[in-house]
Every structure is written in C-alpha cells, then in structure tokens.
Amino acid sequence: MSLPTHFTLNTGAKIPAVGLGTWKSKPGEVRKAVAFALKDGYRHIDAALIYGNEVEVGQGIVDSGVPREEIFLTSKLWNTDHPDVAAGLEKTLKDLGVDYLDLYLIHWPVRLVPNDSHPLLPVNPDGTRAVDRSWDMKETWRQMEAVYKTGKVKAIGVANWSTPYLEDLEKSWTVVPAVNQVELHPLLPQHDLREWCHKRGILLEAYSPLGSTGAPIASDPAIQAIADKYKVAPAAILISYHVNRGDVVLPKSVSEGRISSNRHLVSIDKEDLDVLNGLAAQGKAKRINTPLWGFDLGFADWYGPIKKE
Ligand SMILES: NC(=O)c1ccc[n+]([C@@H]2O[C@H](COP(=O)([O-])OP(=O)(O)OC[C@H]3O[C@@H](n4cnc5c(N)ncnc54)[C@H](OP(=O)(O)O)[C@@H]3O)[C@@H](O)[C@H]2O)c1
C-alpha cells in the first residue's frame, strides 16, 4: 500500500504529510536544517514565534532556493498576542521574511498578560504564569477569522485544544479550524479527540512524534519490536504511524542524516497499527509536553479506549 504524500485541508489546500519541526532548533543550526530539508525534498516547515528562531527559519527558506509558493509554511500566534492577532501575525511575517503563511495556529488556548517580568512568558509576583483565565478564546478565534479573510494566512487552526475547548469554540466559529496540532504518538494516541476532529473535517497534526528531546519513545521495547519486524529504525515507525492513521506528522531534527531519513515512511500493517493504538491503554500512556500554565487544559480522557482503525 502506498502512503499519501499529502492530505487535503478543509480549505481545499494540500498539506504535505511530513513537515520539519523547528522547536529547540537553535539559531545557527536551524537555518542550515531548514535549507537542507527543503533541498532534500521537504515542502512543509512548522515554525512558531515562541521558538525564537523565525528569522533563521526564514533565512533557511531563502538559502534553499525553493520558491516560497512551493513551501507549506505554518506559524503560531503566541499566548501574549491573543488580544491583537493581526499584530502577532505581523511580527511573525516580518521575522520569517514572507508576506503570507499557509497555516496560522493559536498556539495554546491560554492568554498570558504581558508585564515587565518576561516579554513572552510573563509571570505573576508569586512566580506563577500571568494567565488571564477570563479571556474568551472565541474572541481570539474571531480575530483569526478576520486575518484569514485578509489572505495573509491561507488557513487557520489551533494547537493544544482539547474537546471541551473545541466544543466551546464551535458555538461561534464561522470558519472551522483546518487543523488541531497536538502531542500525538503511540503513548498518547488521543483517539477521542481525533474522532471529534475528524467528524468536523479538522485534520490532526502530530507534534513530538518521537517524544521530543532525545527521542525517548524510540527506545520503548514495543516500538523497537515493530521496527525490527519492518527492518527500520524505531523513529521510522513512530513517524510513519501518523501518516498511516491519516494525520500530519512534524518530526524535528537538525541532523542532516535524520532530517533525510525522517521523511521516508513505512506502510504499517493493520495488526501492527492496532498494537500501536493500544499501547497507551495498556498502561504506557504518557504526555511529555506539559507546560505549567497552572490549570487543566481539558485533556482528561487523553488516552481514551483502544480503538481499531
Ligand atoms: N504546538 C505545540 O505546542 C508544539 C509543541 C511541541 C512541538 N511542536 C512542533 O512539533 C515538532 C516536533 O516535536 P519536538 O521537537 O517536541 O520533538 P520530536 O520531533 O518528537 O523529537 C525531536 C528529538 O528527536 C531527535 N531526532 C530526530 N529525528 C531522529 C531520528 N530519526 N532518530 C533519533 N532521534 C531523532 C532530535 O534530535 P536532532 O535534532 O539532534 O536530530 C530531537 O532531540 C517541534 O519541533 C515543533 O515544530 C509543537
């Protein structure tokens, strides 16, 4: 069975199934990584203002020589910019050196109130994050819809949104999010969230597919056993898992060898996909990315029952 190279967003646009992640890719490394990836065949880059490296990401795009219109470029509205989405977008466009994005996401359903403690991660005097719990995310989405209508972003979506947050947004959205980018891997398969999103035409994007820094999930014995069966590296199984399920995947690397190998996918048999889908419910469930916002983001049922696909 051949795997899809692209999926279709609810806007009708095509999105490459594998994109290069850029979180924690340091300045000095990320420019080369992006340029190499694009020359190697990637056509999808996942960026964000909070990663602090969008200038270098933009330089890497230029260095690659690949025309802008051939690249699917995503960025994310940072938490301090919820009251002024257009201003947040302008910063990102300027840093990346582009005049439009293919996809713009609300990075978290969390509004941070700027103060003098830190430009992007403000804290209260007691050290807790300066979160505004009274902020209505529906207002942020209304502004996302407005920037979408300007044409500066070709699609809009969310990241780190659980079902309760999406249900609230659904009450007033006039544009359905194209994407929900969430932590997704066999130890956090998010079956219920996927089903909810798929019913509404929202594509899932898998972040931290290898378990983030150091790729810890690759050493899980169950993943290694499946990798041995297919005679590939565990990372190939973890990345391919998503495309086999119908989701976009965003592996990050700054190593040329790994950037290159990460886009070579393996077709995984149904029986092995069922094993991967069931690992979390068998006691291995694990969420890796848990920033201390100080409140529950509603992912209570985050591993859900075993579901066969
Ligand atoms: N929306 C959000 O809130 C959010 C949160 C987290 C991540 N993301 C996005 O998703 C992307 C991916 O997630 P992530 O960066 O957390 O982690 P990841 O892609 O799961 O893992 C990256 C780590 O795995 C290593 N690695 C890469 N390929 C490998 C391979 N083939 N074999 C062994 N190790 C390998 C990398 O090292 P080297 O670089 O040295 O290869 C790095 O240490 C991010 O970069 C970002 O774009 C979004």
136 CA → ligand 1 middle, Å:
31
Mean pLDDT along residues 226-251:
98
Asked if 277 contacts 189 with a C-beta cutoff of 8 angstroms, the reply is yes
Mean pLDDT along residues 225-245:
98
Residue 302 placed within a domain:
no
* Exposure of 56 in the CB half-sphere (CA atoms within 13 A): 18
Locate all alpha helices (DSSP H) within the chain, ordered by sequence: 30-40, 54-64, 85-96, 137-150, 163-170, 191-199, 221-230, 234-245, 256-261, 270-278
Q: Among 204, 205, 154, which residue's Cα sits nearest to residue 175?
A: 154
Above 70 in pLDDT, residue 184? yes
Asked if 83 contacts 146 with a C-beta cutoff of 8 angstroms, the reply is no
Q: Which CATH number fits the domain that encloses residue 139?
A: 3.20.20.100
| Active-site residue, selected from the candidate residues 51, 148, 207, 303 | 51
Above 90 in pLDDT, residue 300? no
Residue 308 placed within a domain:
no
Q: Model confidence at 165, in pLDDT bands (50, 70, 90)?
A: very high
Q: What is the pLDDT of residue 291?
A: 87
Asked if 263 contacts 236 with a C-beta cutoff of 8 angstroms, the reply is no
Q: Model confidence at 8, in pLDDT bands (50, 70, 90)?
A: very high
Asked if 95 contacts 54 with a C-beta cutoff of 8 angstroms, the reply is yes
Above 80 in pLDDT, residue 303? no
List, for residues 61-90, the tens digit of each pLDDT value. 999 999 999 999 999 999 999 999 999 999
Q: Model confidence at 104, in pLDDT bands (50, 70, 90)?
A: very high
CA angle 276, 302, 224 (to 5 degrees): 25
List, for residues 10-41, the tens digit of each pLDDT value. 999 999 999 999 999 988 899 999 999 999 99
Asked if 53 contacts 30 with a C-beta cutoff of 8 angstroms, the reply is yes
Told to judge if 51 belongs to the known catalytic residues of this protein, a careful annotator would answer yes
Q: How far apart are the first and last CA of the chain?
A: 16
Q: Model confidence at 305, in pLDDT bands (50, 70, 90)?
A: very low
Q: How far apart (Å, rounded) are the C-alpha atoms in residues 281 and 206?
A: 19
Mean pLDDT along residues 193-200:
96
Q: Model confidence at 307, in pLDDT bands (50, 70, 90)?
A: very low
Residue 210 placed within a domain:
yes
Q: Give Cα 127 distance to the centre of its chain.
A: 28
Residue 102 placed within a domain:
yes
The ligand 1 site (C-beta within 6 Å) comprises: 21-24, 46, 107, 159-160, 181, 207-215, 218, 235, 250-255, 258, 261-262, 289
Question: Domain range holding 130?
Answer: 6-282
Above 70 in pLDDT, residue 207? yes
Mean pLDDT of all residues belonging to the chain: 95
Residue 264 placed within a domain:
yes
Residue 291 placed within a domain:
no
For 230-253, give the DSSP string: HTS-HHHHHHHHHHHHT-EE--B-
Residue 229 placed within a domain:
yes
Residue 55 placed within a domain:
yes
Mean pLDDT along residues 264-270:
98
* Exposure of 195 in the CB half-sphere (CA atoms within 13 A): 12
Number of domains in the chain: 1
